[in-house]
Amino acid sequence: MTNFILDTPINTTINTSINKIDIEVIELILHKNATISIRCYNNNEFIKHINYTLTETEYNLWGTNDNYIENLAKAKLSILL
């Protein structure tokens, strides 16, 4: 699992901000998709856990650039929370 400190906290509908996330690949289907686990924290206090399955297009765009997954997780959080 890899964690990231967010440059800008993400406001959520649960009326709190998230300022750290942990991302872990929990399932990988070669040449098709991957499912990531995103754990959300505010000042090291656990807030919420989300699993997200990448579309085939997102999986292909990932390639070898793990920053893509970090940025995708941040973008999806603002939609999913």
Tell me: pLDDT of 12 over 70: no
Mean pLDDT over residues 41-52, rounded?
92
Helices of type H across the chain? 56-62, 66-80
Say whether pLDDT at 33 is over 90. Answer: yes
pTM of the model: 0.77
The mean pLDDT of 6-13, rounded to a whole number, is 75
| Section 10-21 average pLDDT | 76
Strands (E), 1-70: 2-11, 17-29, 33-42, 45-53
